[in-house]
Structures are given as C-alpha cells and as structure tokens.
Amino acid sequence: MTDRFLLLFSLLLSLLVALTGCGDTTGEPGANGGEGAGTVNVYSHRHYEADQQLFERFTAETGIEVKVVKAKADQLIERLKTEGADSPADILITADAGRLVRARAEGLLQTVDSAVLAEAIPASYRDPEGHWFGLTVRARVVVVAKDKVDPSEIGTYAGLADPKWKGRIAVRSSSNIYNQSLLAALIANDGREAAQAWAAGVLANMARDPKGNDRDQVKAVAAGEADLAIVNTYYIGLLLGSDDAAQREAGEAVVVTFPTMTGGGTHVNISGAGVTKHAPHRDNAVRLLEFMVSQEAQKTFAESNYEYPVRTDVEPSALLKGWGDWTPDALNLSQLGENNAEAVKVFDEVGWR
Ligand code: FE
C-alpha cells in the first residue's frame, strides 16, 4: 500500500516537473525560461573565465542554475528589445556603464532596491535609481615606454593634447566605447569646447592612424612605434599574465601611469549589471547580483581578471597594487551614457576615426 502510494506520488511529481519546466536542463534559456525557481538567465557581454567560476560557485551555494548567453552588448540590447515581455533574460551584464545607461533609456531594466548592493557599491558606480550596478572597476590609463618617458611627465588627460607628444601617442579608434566614455567624462568635467580641443590635440599627436584594440596599442609602444598608449588597466595584466612570450614582453615594456581629470581623479569605468524589465526570476537575479559583490566574489574578480574590486574593503591583486595608489574620478558613471552621443559627435567633428 505504502509502495503504491509512493509510486503514484513520484509519478505525479515528475508530471509536475515536466509541466512547469523545472526539469529543463538545456544550456540556453529558451521557451521555458519563465518557469522554475531554480534558474537565473544572464545575458552577458563579458567573456572571462572568472565569471564562469563565480556562477558555478553561486550554483553550488544556492542550487540556482545560471544560464548564460554571451554576445556583444548592442546585440543583447537589441535582443531584449525584440523579445520584450517574453524575454527569458533576468540580468544584463555589460563591460561599460554607457551601455547600461542605454539599456535603461530603452526601458529594458527595472529598479532594484537592495541594501546589500547599496552598501557594497560606492554611489558613483551605480545608477542613482537602482537600474544598474557596477561589479568591477577598470581605469583608462596611459602606459609609457620604459626608459623613454618619465612617468611623472603624465599629469592630466588634458596634457595629452600638448604638442610635446606630437607623433608619440597610440590609441584605438573612436568607434570604441572605452574612448567614447573617456571623452564623455571629459565633456562632463571640462565642457564640450575643451573636450573637443582635447580630441583634436590628441589626434594631432597620434603616432599612427587609430587601429587595433587596446593590447595592440601597448604592442605598438613595445615595438617603438609610439611612446605612450591609452589603455584599460586590465589589458596590462592580461598581457603580463599571458602564455605568449610576445604578449608578456609587450606588457613588460611599459609603465602604468594614472592621469587625472583636471581637478579630479583618474577616469574609470565599470563592468556592471542590471535586472531586466521582465525578469522571470527577479529574486534569483537580485541574489546573483548580491553574490557578485560579496567579498568572496570580489576577491575572485580582483585576482583572476586584473580588475579593481568595486568594494573598497577588498584589496586589488598584488600586481595592481604594485602600480601604485591612485584616486578614481568621482563622476557618477551614468554621465558616460548621457554624454555618449555628444562624444561620438565630437570625435566625428575633429576627424578622429
Ligand atoms: Fe575590454
């Protein structure tokens, strides 16, 4: 009697699982994305191993499965728009605050009121209304050729427009979001006119036409084609930690300096995340975000991906500490998104392609 009851019970249970999609084990969030409390669906522009490690740890701790779709931020934003209320996505992760501001402006994110997030993340690294939150910090800095340029010669970003750098600067194209965000910050800090003069001055000082990615700019300095490069901090870490000797040599050829905004600090950006407007697993999404800013997770980011923790009570890795102390600019990063269109226009006006 008891056995038959158990059999019936387990049959009913499996039927229930099949109906609700809890048993869904595919790697892609699909049609079943809206069901089941044991899942969180992430749309991510980040492609680093550290993230996967963290998701696995989150699953081990909570039992919540993390399903990730990776693509470029603009593609993910388009996808969210197309999917609308049917989107399986719970979280959007990008590698730039500007894209998160854009996602918010498109109405794709919802507000999250979390004391854990507010306490862990300094105010300048999150949306004032809680639509998105910074998870890691990177600075856009200047690296200089060892023995060729005295690091003390790099003072402000504005100084890069000085004619003394003529023919000496390597920097990528203006279509790149990191450059757009740097110019957006300069517009916020110095005004449009000064920012335009800056862009024209840097363009005039370029060692070559903009090409390649951040790593390629460092390689250009290592190869003697330029004396300094504008680059995100973690790329120096990635070069130094590379398996490829040529990449390590490029990293070793330069010294990291931290230029500042006039009257401010060094330009920073974040990788960050927001909970999507129609998140089917909202609670799990908030839980994952809170996990990602925990001290433990922040240490993983700091150690494995050469990024600065967003928390001020977690130390950066030894390598990053070795580059010295610096002060991040206090600008709220939502300004990077708000000034993005203007920055693109200014680049266009001065002819920085
Ligand atoms: Fe990057």
What is the crossing angle of helices 233-240 and 245-252, to 10°? 130
Backbone dihedral angles phi then psi of residue 109, each to the nearest 5 degrees: -120, 155
Nearest to 48 by CA among 114, 138, 127: 138
CA of 47 relative to ligand 1 center, distance in Å: 10
- Dihedral sign computed on CA atoms, order 267, 272, 278, 284: negative
CA of 16 relative to ligand 1 center, distance in Å: 44
CA of 141 relative to ligand 1 center, distance in Å: 13
Is residue 236 within 8 A of residue 249, CB to CB? The reply is no
What is the crossing angle of helices 282-292 and 295-304, to 10°? 60
CA of 229 relative to ligand 1 center, distance in Å: 15
pLDDT in the model for residue 228: 98
Q: For 74-86, how does the pLDDT look when each residue is reduced to its tens digit (9 = 90+)?
A: 999 999 999 999 9
Structure token digits, residue 268: 């920073």
What is the crossing angle of helices 97-105 and 177-190, to 10°? 80
CA of 224 relative to ligand 1 center, distance in Å: 23
Please state, in angstroms and rounded to a whole number, the distance separating the CA atoms of residues 186 and 192.
Answer: 8
Residue type, 324: G
12, pLDDT greater than 90: no
180, pLDDT greater than 50: yes
CA of 95 relative to ligand 1 center, distance in Å: 7
185, pLDDT greater than 80: yes
The structure's pTM equals 0.85
CA of 242 relative to ligand 1 center, distance in Å: 15
pLDDT in the model for residue 28: 39
CA of 107 relative to ligand 1 center, distance in Å: 25
CA of 178 relative to ligand 1 center, distance in Å: 8
CA of 25 relative to ligand 1 center, distance in Å: 31
Q: For 263-295, how does the pLDDT look when each residue is reduced to its tens digit (9 = 90+)?
A: 999 999 999 999 999 999 999 999 999 999 999
